[in-house]
Structure 1
Amino acid sequence: MITFTRAQEPYAAWPAGDTVKEPADKGHALTGEEAKRFYQSLIEEGGDGETGSSGTGNAPARRARRRRPQAAAPSERDGHRLLRCAQEGDLAGLRELLGKKGCNVNFCDAYYWTAIMCASYAGRLDAVRYLLHKGAAWVGVVDIQGRDARDLADQAGHTEVVWELDTFRAQEDRQRTDSAPPPEPRWCSDCGTQYSESEDRHCSSTLHQFSLRRPPPTPHYCLPPTNAGFRMMLREGWEPGAGLGPGGTGPKRPIRTVLKRDQAGLGYGPSPRARVTHFEAGDTRAVQQAPGRGRTERGTTLSRRAERKKKEKDKNWERDFRTYCNL
């Protein structure tokens, strides 16, 4: 036991007149009956701790404050009890924990399981309905494996719980949509109509796309603006969107060039079908193989292959013959 050792002599920092006073009677102790009468007098008279003091005007308030039980804060033990009641479908326990003790309906354990997860996995439909009406969150609330209450119910095979969760979510979405104010109509200068949906959705609509009047695409001549010929044409008064020639009436597409595939000299032998390096859109000739470029097998390769097949056939025949003879 830790005991208090009193000072043997006065201390200089004590106020004047304060001295160490020894108790008058060290050996006297209250009996049980005296202690009972003492506390009964405090409760009845509302005193401030001194025996025989009369009650004041604030005695009823102090008495009520003293007698009023204080609600204890919900503990982690109550949270785990909430999960167990949800798993067992104990509605009375759920009402007591969520009502009187004020437990958090979204309390989760070390594995991030909530009460509605436990009830869904156990197939307790009544507990699921009660927790949903109490504000239990399950959309986006997952455990350490990434499963929410619906996934757990589907995994356990409780289709009625899955249907209840989907129905409750659909009702919430419908209420949220009905309570939201309707969007203000806006005017589109390209279409000449008003629209109330989002701007991205209206711009992707068929009406808006057909109403757009886009200029024709500028022809591309495969020449960057830094090219010397391109700049020379600009100095001569040519516009990039116009055709070639002095009057701008020439072709707007580049001349198709031919890709030479062989190493023979120019003009030697029959001219092969040339590959065009510039094609129109959707032209299948851009992916066709040039004629005469396929792999041709020589005669020796065919004879060796035929000989190998003949040897294999004779070997199989001999094996089958010996098998039939033994049977």
Structure 2
Amino acid sequence: MSRPSLITFTPAMDSSDLWKDGQQQSKPEQPEPILDGAAARAFYEALIAGDSSVPRPQRSEPTRQRKMKKRREAAAEAGATSTSGPRRSLEDDKTTQRILKAAQNGDVAELRRLLEPQEAGGAGGNINAHDAFWWTPLMCAARAGQGAAVHYLLSRGAAWVGVCELGGRDAAQLAEEAGFPEVARMVRESHGETRSPENR
């Protein structure tokens, strides 16, 4: 039984081997003109001076930054096109961001002000509100190791069982990952409300 011969690559050795656009080239293309010293100096002086007429090379973003940017865009798009409930207003989004920041900073007084019902003089925020990445106030507080804020949120009925951020981690896992085992234990020993973050 004979075996078929393998096709191998042979690099071009002389001008008769040069091809472009399916046509054999008789001689190499014209070499680029050599840049003299005065032209090079003028180019770099214009570059340093910030002359906008000189084209500047564009640097591509590092791979990690491109991936993170795509994830943020996908998460924002998923949040914007969600059909699970009515579109949130800009004011709701601002309140959510304030709640998340207060939870991360462990500012229990600010959390009380933001989460108290409007009838009681508070902002009437949602304790289970989330951002585009599905981070809840409890997750922010747990990840930052803010025990007092975690205790307050749990006592107010913050949901954590089955409530995960986009990476699939819940508040207890985020606390453990950040090196706060006592906060993770506090979350796990709570009643474990399972309300959806969408509930208002």
Task: Normalising by structure 2, report the TM-score.
Answer: 0.47
For the pair shown, the structure with the greater C-alpha radius of gyration is 1
Higher relative contact order (CA 8 A, sep 6+): 2
